[in-house]
Structure 1
Amino acid sequence: MENVPVNTWFPALTLALGFIFAMAADALKDRRQGKREREAREFNRREAIGLRRIDFQREALVDLLDQISKLARFCGSSHYQQVMGARATGTWGAIKLTEDVNEGFRATQAAISTTYIRVHDDVVRERTEVFKGACVTAVMAPSEAESFQAFVAMQKALDELSDRIGQVLRSLDSDEDEIVGK
């Protein structure tokens, strides 16, 4: 390089260094952009999972609400049939429930059992157990007084369970709003 004048090699060196620094800056920029894109994809994926979980819980809770209402109606029909049968025969439990009430009660109990286990809220699951137990007691009670007492307990359990489901649904709405940024 001693024989080459500075005004010849210096521009070539600065051009080469500029090219190298530009490539390094582009690589760093691409790396940062890739990282931001991965973070955005991860955020969107988590957001989508969160929304799917909320939808799943909402669907399970609405199904459960429908099913407990049906079970309460079957329990009421059963209680009514038992009361009318006792008045007609003079003996509690002497009549056989109609097939539609008997089968409806059984099928709705089964549907509730497969639905409430999908619910994330422990209080809803516990109150569902209490409600189902009160329904069974009201239907299987050995006397009219015990059946009536269990029927009242079932109504109270239904109110408490419905209230809790409403609270959880409102909470899910708030969670959803938070995720979507409302």
Structure 2
Amino acid sequence: MVRRTWSAIRMDMDIMPDSTIYFSKYYVCFKGVRDGWIEGCRKVICVDGCFLKGLCKGELLAVVGRDTNNNIYHIVWVVVNVENKVNWKWFLDILVDDIGGGNGNGLTIISDGHKGLLEAVKERISEAEHRQCVRHVYANFKKKFDGEHYRKLFWVVVNSTIVPQFKEDTDGIKKLDPNA
């Protein structure tokens, strides 16, 4: 693994046929933050995006980990014009190079399950464990199975720590509705 001795900042532009130049993507990873994550945090990262709705439209993509006190540890941020597979691949290529992630072996990624991100992870860091954020899983579950009983049982299942307990807890949800 080659360790960079500097911060990584990258900006890409799109040149239109009429020679107009537009901002496309912006990546920032400060050396001290990156090194701190590499040296002191678990190799688990959470990746997500949010809309920028001010004067400059686009999306902010962020990568965070957890430090030894289980606090949020910001690692990288990116601004892109849209959250899609192309931009996720661009982002992951630079990120993996920065953190020395190679093909993703030993790295776990938690995300909202955005289709473009799922595909980009498979292509760029195929050895990484990729898991979905339980809050997003619950939001989808709630669309079909709403109500206090489902909510309580869902979170019981989520907190199951061993396989026999997980199976027993999922059976509780299946008693309400076999499709759940």
TM-score, normalising length: structure 2: 0.21
Q: TM-score with structure 1 length normalisation?
A: 0.21
Greater percentage in helix? 1
Relative contact order higher in (CA < 8 Å, ≥ 6 apart) = 1
